[in-house]
Chain A
Amino acid sequence: MNPVISIQIDSVQKYFRPGQTLSGTYAFVDVSQEKMDHAELSVLWFTEGKGDEDMGVHFFESIPWGEVKKRNFAPGGAFNVVLPMAPLSYYGKVLKIHWEVRVRLFLKDGSSFGESKQFTLGDVPPVYVVLN
């Protein structure tokens, strides 16, 4: 059975403001301790749309399996990241910018599993073309 990764963002707000702290937790379910190597946590933005993907990593942390704490119901961890000023989340015509928290789990056999949770940075409304 493949491991299951769950990510929870503490706040339920519609969007985050630049400079605000993004906090949350992650957990690994159905994990065989012997097979685990390490986990990675990152907070990043990436582009989506017609163009090729660009990505910018705002926060990255590689966590050795020994440091992954046993939480309430499964091993996991917590994060607290101060969000940057830019780029803000954007939903344009041919370009979109998304922010997300990613957690990846690496096994000793070289395979990896990932989970992501998107959030919105800033309050830029979706683009509707204004040409006047």
Chain B
Amino acid sequence: MIFHSLFFDKKLGLPGFRSQRMGVLAELSFALFCILAGIVGILWILIYFILPEWEINQKFESTTCTMKDFRIVENRIFPDAQNPMEAEKNTLFGEGESDESEEEEDDLEEVFPSENEGEAGSEKPLPMVEGILKQIGNVSYQPEIFVAYQVEGRDYESWAYSMKSVLDKQRFENQKDAQEFIEKWQEDGCHGWFDPEKPENIVIFKSWTFENYLSLLIPISFFFIGCGMLYPLRRFARWDSEEFSAMFFGPDARRVRKKMLDSKSWVDVQSEDVLSCLPLSAEITNCSGIRMNYRLPVLDSPVRALFVLMSVALIWNALTILLLTIIVCGSTPGVRNWIWFVYVVPFALVGLGLVFYAFRQIRAATVVGPTLVEIDRYPLRPGESTMLFVSQRGRAKIFWFNVMLVCEEEVVFTHGTNTRCEVQRVFQRLIYGEDGVEMPSNGAFEVEFPLEIPPNIMHTFVSLRNQIYWKIIVQVSVEGSRPFERSFPILIYPKTYDVKEAV
């Protein structure tokens, strides 16, 4: 069988490109753009928003200031065309002394020109831009105070508010709010925070802005999307396929890298018994049992499922209540509100359903009680046997109780833009079964029995997107609850072969 370039052609590359090379190049460019945008975004947010704010909160030292003067600065998103510098930062008014607060209020109306007056003679923005600016607020107001303070006996004077890079959220929509900020600052004791390394840098306002950290999610998403797009493209690299997989992607990558680092010969490397396609047994053997040597961890624990279910129910209902509150308190009167109410009804019903289902699951979990499975020895290999101990706690009567040995194949595949997972059960054997179990007085049904691993079976196998795993499944039907099952993973190693034995 001869094939050109690629062993397994997959539908990769943009479909609009006839040339696969061009398609890959386009995808690569887009992936690199995403990664670059992500990195630039992360750095920009860190340098201009998070770090300055962190510095103010952590590094700056507190002091008490004296107000010498103040002003309110007008900031326009769309500066006046005739005098853009003036328009961008337009000082509206200032006062010589801080104790003349009554006069300040009187002056407010005189000094503030109406917005229309301020824009007289200036070139107006396009109607569409004007509409957008009206929505988001073209003008904002920033109070600045001329403060005097002392650091280590030396006097300093400076105009202060907050750091420029963290200002945007701390501006005010109208002059009155800015004025109130100054008054409140005076009432609170005229606190300021200065940089101990450069005492002339002082701020009179500091805060933690949660949105800065939240906004990091956007560039981080870009970064990971770009990295994710690079992964399927690896097969088109010059050093693709075996060499590349061997070094970076294959399950044996660690072994191959070790070989390269240590300059070992391949014979030495092969002699190392590294079973990289098998999961580490530490997760199973790190918990000692009471009756047997090892207690098996439980898969799909009900606690985790309940937590997720409760969280979903809580968030869903909180959003529904929020939506209802907005509708009820909304300013739009009349018939349209009723339409919104009808719209919310399905959401409310789903929310109630979630709450009902969550409480039902909690009740089922508390009625049934925990299940413990312990195993006598590890590792297990085909054809070997060991002892198993199973304990089921709870108050309710058990109708039937089954323990099964199960093997499943799990594959992950991409279908279009979706990633799907399929599980196929290929082996299932009942290893213990009992009907009409009477619960002992101590509330724990306990049973011990041998577990025989069939010969000539596949061992546990784990790779990036494909798995073969073995597990013990305990199925219980109890009074007052629907039958349930709990899974406990076990590792089955490959059987040992006698190499000298003739095949």
Contact = CB atoms under 8 A, between A and B. Distances in A.
Contact of B411 (A5, A49, A116): A49
B104 to A, nearest CB: 70
Interface in B447-503: 456-459, 461, 463-466, 468, 493-494, 497-499, 501, 503
B349 interface: no
A90 B246 contact: no
Given A52-B412, A87-B461, A125-B456, A19 B256 contact: no
Interface in A62-82: 62, 81-82
B251 to A, nearest CB: 5
B428 A130 contact: yes
A124 B267 contact: no
Given A17-B499, A94-B409, A131 B428 contact: yes
Interface residues of A, number: 61
Given A17-B503, A60-B256, A102-B7, A115 B459 contact: no
A118 B278 CA distance: 22
B494 A122 contact: yes
Given A19-B499, A59-B266, A90-B461, A127 B426 contact: yes
Interface in B238-274: 238, 241-243, 245-246, 249-252, 256, 266-267, 270-271, 273-274
Contacts of B499: 17-20
A15 B498 CA distance: 13
B351 to A, nearest CB: 37
B305 interface: no
B60 to A, nearest CB: 53
Interface string A9-52: 00001111111100000000000000000001010110101111
A85 B414 contact: no
B413 interface: yes
A15 B459 CA distance: 17
A51 B410 CA distance: 8
Interface centre among A61, A82, A114 (most CB of B within 10 A): A114
Identify the interface centre among A40, A61, A122: most chain B CB within 10 Å of its CB: A122
A13 B503 contact: yes
Interface of A: 2, 4-5, 13-20, 40, 42, 44-45, 47, 49-62, 81-82, 84-88, 90, 92-95, 97, 102, 104, 110-116, 122-125, 127, 129-132
30 contacts: A2-B4, A15-B503, A17-B497, A17-B499, A17-B503, A20-B499, A44-B242, A47-B463, A47-B465, A49-B466, A52-B411, A52-B412, A55-B242, A55-B245, A56-B463, A57-B250, A60-B242, A60-B246, A62-B243, A86-B494, A87-B277, A88-B459, A92-B409, A95-B409, A111-B4, A113-B4, A115-B2, A122-B497, A124-B458, A129-B425
